[in-house]
Chains A and B, each alone.
Chain A
């Protein structure tokens, strides 16, 4: 089983709709979870992070975490064509020598105008 799993998509939504991106992880000890957005040819940029169970909202983005189910999601409200990108779920793992970030395969999101 991979450490972080995502549906690779593509996920297509119409402009103005809610895009829902999902991620599961295998390490029950993980405490920190991140969503990165990556445009084609660019490096990843952090858009959301979440540490506690429940929802966390920032503008049009809502991150949801359920540690019992080992599940993280990202909701994008009022999706815009500029949201079209690959969304990477990342989980921070704690190792003897320090922390490291492990990424899922990424979900391609296409917002159609």
Chain B
């Protein structure tokens, strides 16, 4: 399966600031996915990022708050903007399996605490 490097692994940020999370994949992938996992909750899809086009956001998530870049087929960033304590969560990137592989692989996650 694809290997995903996600960083930072954790951060503590001041409210009102922004944090950019990076995901690097060891192979080219068409789509990359960004999820949020709030404390004690399951994974909620924020957006899907295709290379060369704007990300597609799920209901309740907007580009101004969570801008995404996808400059090539192996890399993506998610920015959490103008943070508030409610943004304290784990953020995960994910990719589909390679051709012939099943399922989706996840990065190790970024644990964000906003104070």
Which one of B37-45, B60-68, B69-77, B81-89 contacts A?
Answer: B37-45
A73-113 interface bits toward B, Cβ cutoff 8 Å, 1 = contact, 0 = none? 00000000000000010100001011111111110000000
Q: Contacts A34-B103, A43-B107; is A100 near B42 (CB within 8 Å)? A: no
Contacts of B96 in A (CB 8 A): 99
A97 touches B48 (CB 8 A): yes
B103 touches A98 (CB 8 A): no
A103 touches B43 (CB 8 A): yes
B106 touches A44 (CB 8 A): yes
| B108 interface hit (Cβ, 8 Å) | yes
B108 touches A43 (CB 8 A): yes
Contacts of A25 in B (CB 8 A): none
Contacts of A100 in B (CB 8 A): 33, 45, 48
Total residues of chain A contacting the partner, CB 8 A: 20
A35-63 interface bits toward B, Cβ cutoff 8 Å, 1 = contact, 0 = none? 00000001111100100000000000000
Total residues of chain B contacting the partner, CB 8 A: 22
Contacts of A95 in B (CB 8 A): 56
Contacts of B104 in A (CB 8 A): 34, 46, 90, 101
B94 touches A88 (CB 8 A): no
CB distance from A65 to the nearest CB of B (A): 14
Q: Contacts A46-B104, A98-B31; is A105 near B48 (CB within 8 Å)? A: no
Q: Kindly report which residue of chain B lies nearest to residue A47, judged by CB atoms.
A: B103
Residues of B7-60 at the interface with A, using a CB-CB cut-off of 8 Å, are 30-31, 33, 41-45, 48, 50, 56
List 24 A-B pairs, Cβ < 8 Å.
Answer: A34-B103, A34-B104, A43-B92, A43-B106, A43-B108, A43-B109, A44-B106, A46-B104, A46-B105, A49-B103, A88-B42, A88-B43, A95-B56, A97-B50, A98-B31, A98-B50, A99-B31, A100-B45, A101-B94, A101-B104, A103-B43, A104-B42, A105-B41, A105-B42
B residues within 8 Å of A by Cβ? 30-31, 33, 41-45, 48, 50, 56, 92, 94, 96, 102-109
